Chain A
Amino acid sequence: MTVIQKKADNPIAHLSAEDIEIIGKELDAIRDRVIADRGERDARYIRKVIKTQRTLEISSRAVLLFSLFPPAWIVGTAGLTVAKILDNMEIGHNVLHGQWDWMRDPKIHSTTWDWDHVSPADQWKQSHNELHHRYTNVVGKDNDLGYGIMRVDEDQPWHPMHLGQPVWNLLNAAFFEYGIAAYDMELGDHLKQKRLKDPKFRAKAKAVGRKIRKQVLKDYVVHPLLSGPSFLSTLAATFTANLIRNVWSHSVIMCGHFPSGVETFEKTSIEGETRGEWYLRQMLGSANISGPRLLHIMTGNLSFQIEHHLFPDLPSNRYQEIAPQVRALFDRYGLRYTTGPLPKQVASAWWKVIRLSLPNRRDRRQPVAPGPLVPSGAA
């Protein structure tokens, strides 16, 4: 992709400033309708997910105490993996977004929640909720575009380091939670600028260290020790669960903003941005994943990335419900609602990582597909 402003066939050229504000009003109305209707059913949903996650986690860990026995290893590892995914995606990510703050339950609140992740909740909230969600897909502002280690847009300058990015991406997938923690504490910037002694950075690093220590102690020391003779097999099980959870969340998150069809934006384009324009940027800067209900839950409903980016604080169980209304709005205004099945979206995102590891070729900048709304970088 190329920032939308530089495209020969700008997919929003047909919209007037007035259209954009009307789109904003319509989206506000969708949000207000959900809020007016939000209630007991939603509360029951999140409590059920939390209860399921906790029951699954504790019973899987109990089964793993006997992980020397292969069926126990398989069942326990599978259960723990799912529990860890639920903890991070449908519960952690969404609670930390404030999606459930309205319940006024101090136990399920963005200011009190912690997750099974090495990035401390407050650091993640700042880099994710505040920066990524505010500056979504603005090149040079939204560091989620390649996490500072990869080039995922033609308009990001190429550097020989990017030749290795398919490998970086693979490593990032395997150890994603560590990548996120490093990213949230801005480790890269501090390393580059030799500012490792900055007290703010040190406080953040200390908090990350504490979380890593706790997780390592739990997953790789205490739980294996409790397993007695099954020490090594439990260790392998918890490592596997963390690995699969990492690869899964990495894949889901890549699908949110990297697949073809997603637009990026110039830094200057958001100066004085109106609410309607902010909405429009979210609409074009995100991509969904299609699939069955179970997939949506396992992705934390980030398979409705478009709806999530429009309304980051609406309860996640509502995204699927409002998706048809949102999609109808896209259709009415001739905008492209990017969506596709998981394998296709993952492949598309990976292809971009591989392709952009090489410098831009001039002929790539030419439109390759017909139709006024297909962005030039879509191939």
Chain B
Amino acid sequence: MTTTAPRRSQKVSFRDRLLRLAGTVTTPLLPGDYLDLVAPLRAGAPLRGRIVAVRPETRDAATLVIQPGRGWQGHLPGQYVRLGVDVDGVRQWRAYSLTSPPGAADGRIAVTVKAIPDGKVSNHLVRRIRPGTIVQLDQAQGEFVLPTATPERVLFLTAGSGITPVMGMLRAGLTERADVVLVHSAPTRDDVIFGAELRALAERGAVRLVERHTDTSGLLDVTELDELVPDHAQRHTWACGPLGLLDAAEAHWAARGAVDLLHTERFRPTVITPGDGGTVTFTGAGVTVEADGATTLLDAGENAGVLMPSGCRMGICYGCVVPLRQGAVRDLRNGDVTTAVPGDGVRIQTCISAAAGTCDIEL
């Protein structure tokens, strides 16, 4: 790595110089703004991807095959990628597990999405998105990965779309030489995402597959594992699924003194329920105040001594727009609620917004 580093930096600086020169003709735009018209996936562009195929998996799940931009740095099996997609014209960011093995020859990656009821983004991705669409990407992240040396005995405990990171691991072939048990829950046999592929793996002995069809057999009680997988507390376990399953698993493994062997991946960790007023933190200023549902964030900040940008104070000039890192705010003019989780890139007008729950303002 050290030998290539200087060469790389030289290359970048030459390119930078070239771009700066090109910038004198494109100003106030950047050369990249023009290049985006023809090569949105080029090296040096903000990371994006092009949807190349949408493959239905079950009645409510689909796999999106994505050609990532040149800046894609690869992933480890089990990691997820944050995907920014425009739904009804509004950019929305969500995280999805990568289900493709790393290092595909064509450089493509895949995520598998399950449409959740009323899920704005998941339904769009499963049912509406078309090949050719450009989406925004982040680099792969996540700690839900296998160690470099795969343990000899492994248990995967999954439910619903929780199978997706595990599928990424199985497809990468990391567990070929391990003793693997997969306990997976889904409403019916047809609802098992990757059902055919998993059953084929089981047939050739790569995994022992325990399918639980909850419509007929009810939800899995983790104590049933004592019977299903008697040595489960001795197995390195990766669990992914609804919060109820994960909470129960954590309690169960803790009770058996094996909590170190359990790795969990929690989907949708933050559910924001808008309320009336809340605790507002101005993260840059390090100020926290309690604001009621009728006080604008601008007033709340100013009253607490935060230097707030402001303008018309009536919602027309956009001089007070600041990033809402996370939380919920209400537009006092019409009651519309805006929510954000970190990374959403949501900006709000503080002069017409009041807290609708805990919020962090980047100021």
| A interface residue numbers (CB < 8 A to B) | 28, 31-32, 35, 38-44, 51, 54-55, 58, 61, 96-98, 101-107, 109-111, 114-116, 125-126, 129-130, 133-134, 211, 214-215, 217-218, 222-223, 226, 275, 278, 312-313
Contacts and interface: CB of A to CB of B under 8 A. Distances in A.
B317 A130 contact: yes
Nearest to A111: B321
A91 to B, nearest CB: 11
Contact of A218 (B27, B312, B314): B27
B91 interface: yes
Contact of B317 (A51, A106, A134): A134
Given A218-B25, A313-B316, 19 more contacts: A28-B333, A28-B334, A39-B89, A39-B90, A41-B89, A54-B29, A104-B345, A107-B33, A110-B321, A111-B347, A115-B28, A125-B317, A125-B318, A126-B311, A129-B312, A129-B317, A134-B317, A214-B24, A218-B27
A137 B221 CA distance: 71
Contacts of A38: 89
Interface residues of B, number: 32
Nearest to B24: A222
Contacts of A101: 318, 321, 347
B37 A134 contact: no
B344 interface: yes
Interface string B59-89: 0000000000000000000000000001011
A129 B311 contact: yes
Contact of B347 (A54, A109, A116, A126): A109
29 contacts: A28-B333, A39-B88, A39-B90, A42-B89, A43-B86, A54-B29, A61-B25, A98-B349, A101-B318, A101-B347, A102-B89, A105-B86, A107-B33, A109-B347, A110-B318, A111-B321, A111-B347, A114-B29, A126-B317, A129-B316, A129-B319, A130-B319, A134-B312, A134-B314, A134-B316, A214-B27, A215-B27, A218-B26, A275-B314
A105 B344 CA distance: 10
B336 interface: yes
Contacts of B311: 126, 129-130, 134
Contacts of B315: 313
Nearest to B30: A114
Contacts of A222: 24-25
A211 B28 CA distance: 8
B33 A223 contact: no
A86 to B, nearest CB: 13
B225 interface: no
Contacts of B334: 28, 31-32, 35
B34 interface: yes
A40 B316 contact: no
A41 B311 CA distance: 30
Contacts of A42: 89
A130 B312 contact: yes
B220 interface: no
Contact of A103 (B33, B86, B321): B86
A215 B25 CA distance: 9
A24 to B, nearest CB: 11
Interface in B296-352: 311-312, 314-319, 321, 333-334, 336, 344-347, 349
B159 to A, nearest CB: 32
Given A61-B25, A278-B314, A126 B319 contact: yes
A107 B48 CA distance: 13
Given A35-B336, A103-B86, A103-B91, A226 B25 contact: yes
A61 B34 CA distance: 13
Nearest to A211: B28
Contacts of A134: 311-312, 314, 316-317
Contact of B318 (A58, A61, A114, A313): A313
B28 A133 contact: no
Contacts of B86: 40, 43, 103, 105
Q: A61, A106, A115, A126 — which one has the most chain B CB atoms within 10 A of its CB?
A: A106
A133 B92 CA distance: 31
Nearest to A43: B89
Interface centre among A104, A215, A312, A313 (most CB of B within 10 A): A104
A19 to B, nearest CB: 21
A154 B10 CA distance: 65
A103 B86 CA distance: 8
A104 B90 contact: yes
Contact of B321 (A98, A133, A214): A98
A250 B24 CA distance: 27
Nearest to B28: A114
Contacts of A98: 318, 321, 349
